Amino acid sequence: MRGKEDRGIRAPWRVRERGLALGIDIGGTKVAGGIVDIDGRILTMARTDTPSRDARAVEQTIGTVVDELTRDADIVAIGIGAAGWMDTEGSSVMFSPHLAWRNEPLQAALQSQLRRPVLIENDANAAAWAEWRFGAGQGENRLLAVTLGTGIGGGIIIDGRVERGRYGAAGEFGHMVIVPGGHRCECGNRGCWEQYASGNALGREARELARAGSPIAQEILERANGNVDEIRGPLVTEAARNGDRAACDLFTEVGDWFGLGLANLAAAFDPGTFVIGGGVSSAGELLMKPTRESFARNLTGRGYRPAADIRLAHLGPDAGLVGAADLARVAASRRWARSVPGG
């Protein structure tokens, strides 16, 4: 017997699967939204400042962005990407470091407000999904995405699904302790990976050089108008791109630490590909060359095992938005299929 689609009838869940979805990326300073098609293209966007750490105010801001974007668009689902730990059902935010969400039933609150299907996802998981679906990780069935920015986040894609862990907290790679008793981390521990390989680490090490009066830090200090406290990762990146010796040396140090952490992840997960995104990754080979060299030196079983590819992400800062929208579309289409007789 021929199926519905074989007879030329488009099953309703297939129509929904191909519909437009809306992705929302919530950061500490902004809420960005975009309408995303089935090929991962952003058709239109809107951005606004995050009003405060107040949970209700942020939810109202999300509603404002959604209303603006859906005024002339029919969407099938909304995906919300935010930093923090989500429960495994994607319904509650257990903890968000930048916002006041603690065991917050965000999905129910937003679905009631927006009257559309809503999916809640960790922003790094959403970015990993986007890179697997549309970016540098296409075709890889064991993918680790690592976001290297102010800190380090991560996402795990195994056989076409997001691996969230038993309690929804998988992928917090930046908080692996690699130097016991090392630099204090915001998480409360000491010696976390992101304290040695991140934008924060770049800025901290450059400030230490400048405070020590090192002559090699002179150009970095001049870029900060002589104010040591203004030296941050983006400034060091700009100096390195312009060939500043101290900044390039700092990138080599960060790359050494970053490659070591990737080798540890390879020992634990044995991925086929690492996709590296986040703001610091915009430095390109300034970061990737020492990272690959350190990875090769520290990889367990080196010389007797295949080594994972290490690739730069393709989708840039909008990956989380795209991934959240696509995950919400997929989830909505599956729920719709289950609700249709014969689906």
Q: Across the chain, what does the average pLDDT equal? A: 86
Assess contact for 293 and 248: CB atoms under 8 A.
no
What is the structure's pLDDT at 8?
A: 33
In which band, very low, low, confident or very high, does the pLDDT at 5 lie, cut at 50, 70 and 90? very low
Burial of residue 188 (number of CB atoms within 10 Å: 0-12, 13-18, 19+)? exposed
Nearest to 203 by CA among 226, 221, 180: 221
- Lowest average pLDDT, out of 48-52, 81-85, 127-131, 330-334, goes to 48-52
Q: Which residues pair with 85 in a beta bridge?
A: 95
In which band, very low, low, confident or very high, does the pLDDT at 98 lie, cut at 50, 70 and 90? low
CATH topology of domain 139-313: Nucleotidyltransferase; domain 5 (3.30.420)
pLDDT in tens, 24-36: 998 767 788 999 9
Please report how many Cα atoms fall inside a 13 Å half-sphere around the Cα of residue 44, on the Cβ side. Answer: 12
Instruction: Give yes or no for residue 95 having a pLDDT over 60.
Output: yes
CATH code given to domain 12-129+318-339: 3.30.420.40
Domain ranges of the chain: 12-129+318-339, 139-313
pTM: 0.86
Residues near 230 by beta carbon (within 8 Å), at least 6 away in sequence: 224
The answer to whether the 12-129+318-339 and 139-313 domains have the same CATH topology is yes
- Lowest average pLDDT, out of 60-64, 91-95, 188-192, 315-319, goes to 91-95
DSSP labels for 14-65? HHHHTSEEEEEEE-SSEEEEEEE-TTS-EEEEEEEE---S-HHHHHHHHHHH
What is the structure's pLDDT at 96?
A: 77
Assess contact for 291 and 147: CB atoms under 8 A.
no
Assess contact for 282 and 90: CB atoms under 8 A.
no
